[in-house]
Amino acid sequence: MRSRNLLALALAPLIAFPLIYSSAQESPEPELKIQAFTNATIYPVSSPKIENATLLLKGDTIIAVGPSDQIDIPADAQRIDATGKTIIPGLICTHSHIGSVSGADSSSPIQPEVRVLDSIDVRDTSINKARAGGITTVNLMSGSGHLLSGQTLYLKLREGNTVEDLSIKLPDGSLAYGVKMANGTNSIRDNGPFPGTRAKSAALVRQKFLEAQVYQKKRAKHLEENDPEKTFERDLALETLADILDGKRTVHHHTHRHDDILTVLRLKEEFGFKVVLHHVSEAWKVADEIAAADVPCSLIFLDSPGGKLEARDFEWRNGAELEKRGVLTALHTDDPINDSRWFLRNAAIGVRAGMSREKALEALTLSGAKILDLDKSVGSLEPGKQADFVLLSGDPFSIYTRILETHIEGKQVFDLEDPQDRLFAEGGYGAGHNRQATGCCFYR
């Protein structure tokens, strides 16, 4: 536990009891804690960097950000001196396999009925490590060994006992998630029912979505008729695809090679997907086409190309090429491909190869929020948004900068000064006991 939270914990029983009683008597809402982080260098992301700045929170929400001399700090606020420190929004990883996540099995190449929700281990140390890496929001994905490997899940990395504690609820009450698809090498296998070629891969997907269009119409008709006498046979797989066709769910599409990228754009054109291209190793070859299709990308910067044929032509300049063309571009760790604790460094590689510092920081935060349709609540430091932020020891893109604290919705979830948290940040005896992520394709 962390020092500041320790105090809160010690006081908790004293405060909690009267609260329970008072809420039973329908008294006014308890006063929300006000916190002021003062004298920091703040990158709100939605607006330019501010020196000597203050971040003011009330409960789980940001109420003000600005130069310290322009922010009125209420008398009862808890003041935290952040002199010499840098504050950025909580990082958003649009593609990760932490939490021992799994999706589809080997029985078929398209399994939209499978939810990663039913697989996540919130006690897996990879989640603690992601908090140590400054990640506050994450899209947990199933693997790329299928054309469609399941429903993903968007999580806030709050501390919690169940996956529901970490989940994000949409206004309609459903959980926030997307759908994972893939093309290219990983989903091609030697044996049926898996495709053996790229053309077959596309054909299988198209056939399934044509079936989903029929289902979509039936479902719409049933809802329109609103006849309690009539029953509607739900199909979990087609239901998910129909949600995609309705624009309710985003397809997160793994794709590397230029021709595979164009195949995704073709599918989007035919079925009206809301789609995000993931990895996009050869984005630099078809950057114009990606821009023309107005499709966002989620990139990863690896330390070298290769590892498979379709990643041979991967280049660091993907970020810069997409930025030049105004493509909405986020980043991801693909943890365990890149460790969540090196996410800031990933953006620094983008800067090295020509991305602007502004867009690179945006790619770690606000662009990710936009891609996950969560930008109303997270992704930047603005009044009204959830208080998700990271305290750094210095420049976000310097290798020597350390992540000092991570806060989600006004609560500290990582503190480098805390010995247990430091163990997750740096590694050491007991940091492991990790269950290997199953989402990817390691051969040993």
Partner 1 sequence: MFKSLLLSLLSLSLTAAHAQIAVKADLLFTMTGDLKPIKNAIILCSPDGTIQAVGTDIQIPEGYQTLTVKVATPGIIDAHSTVGLSGILNSPKHDQEQLEKSAPIQPELRAIDAYNGRDPLVKWLRDLGVTTVHTGHAPGTLISGQLMVVKTNVPAITSLDDTLVPTSAVAATLGSSALSKSPGTRAKAIALLRAELLKAQAHARKISTAEADDEKDAPAPNIKLQILVDVLNKKTPLLINAQRHQDIASALRLREEFGFNLILDGAAEAYLLLEEIKAAGIPVIVHPTMGRPFGDLENMTFTLAAQLHQKGIPFAFQSGYETYVPKTRVVHFEAALAAAYGLPREIALAACTIYPAKILGLDDKIGSLAPGKHADLALFDGDPLETTTHTTHVIINGKLVSSTAK
- 151 vs 338 by CB, closer to partner 1: 338
| Calpha distance 281→300 (Å, rounded) | 8
- 13 vs 429 by CB, closer to partner 1: 429
Best CA proximity match to 300, nearest among 280, 286, 275, 326:
280
Whole-number minimum distance, CB 298 to partner 1, in Å? 16
- 335 vs 415 by CB, closer to partner 1: 335
Q: Under a CB-based contact definition with an 8 Å cutoff, are residues 99 and 121 in contact?
A: yes
| Calpha distance 243→250 (Å, rounded) | 9
- 344 vs 387 by CB, closer to partner 1: 344
Q: Under a CB-based contact definition with an 8 Å cutoff, are residues 391 and 344 in contact?
A: no
Whole-number minimum distance, CB 424 to partner 1, in Å? 10
- Provide the 3-class DSSP secondary structure of residue 14: helix
| Calpha distance 408→101 (Å, rounded) | 22
Would you state the structure tokens that stand for residue 338, as one six-digit string?
């890149």
* Binding region for partner 1 (CB under 8 A): 129, 302-309, 311-312, 336-339, 342, 345, 348-349, 351-352, 397-402, 426-434, 436, 440-444
Would you put residue 326 in left (φ > 0), alpha (ψ -120 to 50) or beta? Answer: left
Whole-number minimum distance, CB 374 to partner 1, in Å? 28
Whole-number minimum distance, CB 124 to partner 1, in Å? 11
Whole-number minimum distance, CB 15 to partner 1, in Å? 38
Omega within 30 of 0 (cis) for the link into 336? yes
| Calpha distance 71→77 (Å, rounded) | 12
- 243 vs 335 by CB, closer to partner 1: 335
- 371 vs 425 by CB, closer to partner 1: 425
Would you state the structure tokens that stand for residue 278, as one six-digit string?
């993931």
- Degrees (nearest 5) of the Cα angle 103, 156, 432? 65
Q: In sequence order, what are the residues at sequence separation of 6 or more whose Cβ sits closer than 8 angstroms to the Cβ of residue 237? A: 110, 111, 112, 113
Whole-number minimum distance, CB 432 to partner 1, in Å? 3
Residue in this structure with the two tokens 């001196």, named with its chain if needed: 81
Q: DSSP letter at 336?
A: T
| Calpha distance 363→342 (Å, rounded) | 15
- 350 vs 410 by CB, closer to partner 1: 350
Whole-number minimum distance, CB 194 to partner 1, in Å? 19
Q: DSSP letter at 115?
A: B
First to last CA, the chain: 38
- 78 vs 401 by CB, closer to partner 1: 401
Residue 143 CB neighbour total at 10 angstroms: 23
Residue in this structure with the two tokens 């992520």, named with its chain if needed: 437
- 377 vs 434 by CB, closer to partner 1: 434
- 4 vs 397 by CB, closer to partner 1: 397
Whole-number minimum distance, CB 9 to partner 1, in Å? 28
Whole-number minimum distance, CB 145 to partner 1, in Å? 13
β-bridge partners, 93? 138
Residue 305 CB neighbour total at 10 angstroms: 13
Would you state the structure tokens that stand for residue 151, as one six-digit string?
């429903």
Whole-number minimum distance, CB 164 to partner 1, in Å? 27
- 97 vs 411 by CB, closer to partner 1: 97
Whole-number minimum distance, CB 339 to partner 1, in Å? 6
Q: DSSP letter at 63?
A: E
Best CA proximity match to 295, nearest among 317, 318, 324, 262:
262
